[in-house]
Structure 1
Amino acid sequence: MTHSDSAVTRRSLLRASAGAGAAAVGTSALAGGAAAQDAGVAEWLSGVSNYDGVVDETGSDSVTVEVGVEANGGPYGFGPAAVRVDPGTEVTFEWVSNTHNVVVESQPENADWSGEEEINNEGYTYSATFETEGVYQYFCGPHRSMGMKGAVVVGDVEVGGGSGGGGIDWAEVGVLGFAGILGLGLLSPLVSRALGESERGRRHR
């Protein structure tokens, strides 16, 4: 093998290895974003005593969330704590105890839900129609420290069931991520061997 052939081979292998590495890193980054999205609801509601998964209310034109239900050591909960609805569903927040509000923590990009920041009492109702798919997180201002938090999940978006944590979830990384990482592992020895052969060839010339 000539020096030019060796150089071309090395460059080809390095490009292939770099491509596999980029694929692995890129897919891992996407998986990380997906994992953050998946764990969002459970992480947000991790300290909420009446959270036991997302209640599926898809198929309903209107849904009621009670404000100030018994939870977290007193009348400090939203009931249900998390609910899934279809886009275009009207959600009515109904106060069942006193001195609560509904403050938006986060919502999907391009959504414009404003919540109901005014403090209100038992008997008050406030309605909003959720059009944009995604996860809407909210809390009660006076009682956030008590764990009075909630979420509305709109549409067929993944929310996961865990509270997030370390380690790799291969189900979330997916086949492409695994293939990219595997490809990087397989190509690394080839690159090392090609570079070693090239170095020995130069020494013997």
Structure 2
Amino acid sequence: MKRRDFLRATGGSGGAVALGSGVAAGQEGTGTATGTEGGGGGGTTHTVDMTDSLVFDPAELTIEAGDTVVWENVGSVGHSVTAYEDNIPEEADFFASGGFDAEQPARDAYPEQGDIPGGESYQHTFETLGTYEYFCIPHESVGMIGTIEVVEEIEEAAGGGERELHSIGAPIHPHWVGAATILMMFVSLVFTFYVLKYGESPNTGNTGGGD
């Protein structure tokens, strides 16, 4: 085999390896958490939208102890964020837009206090593990209710699903892509070894003089 043909062949194999590596990297990129959510301990900020469709979006949220939730009114209709006093952990602080310490005063004062107009927000940091249920005072009757689950580590609490990691610590699908990349590299090395050992033209071994 001529050197030019050999370089062309091995260059093509190298391109396949590079392509496989690029695909694996792209798959890993799509597996990471998006937005402001993610693991890594307390201090993460999560956003819940309050919409003119009269819903909390998302209505259910899992966070870690020490994380902060920001409720943003992305519409024009006023809302409130008010905890159900009997449906939060016993040791946890009560929370409600308007700064109330109990549920009934928050209900009584709305809308003079506790209303969150369009474009404004309310936030609360959760320190105590457990389940918190809350609602919007003017739209409770139509089901504008939300739930927040506070856990130590999101991955352990998820119990599987899309965030579950493979035993080697990589998402399952990118792991298989990576294995295919390694296989291509191995095939390329075997091909190169075979060409170097057996691929010479019969004429290249002629050491005699003359053409």
Range into which the TM-score falls when normalised by the shorter chain:
0.3 to 0.5
Which of 1 and 2 has higher RCO (CA within 8 Å, sep 6+)?
1
| Higher gyration radius (CA) | 2
**TM-score, length basis structure 1:** 0.45
**TM-score, length basis structure 2:** 0.44
Q: Which has the higher strand share?
A: 1
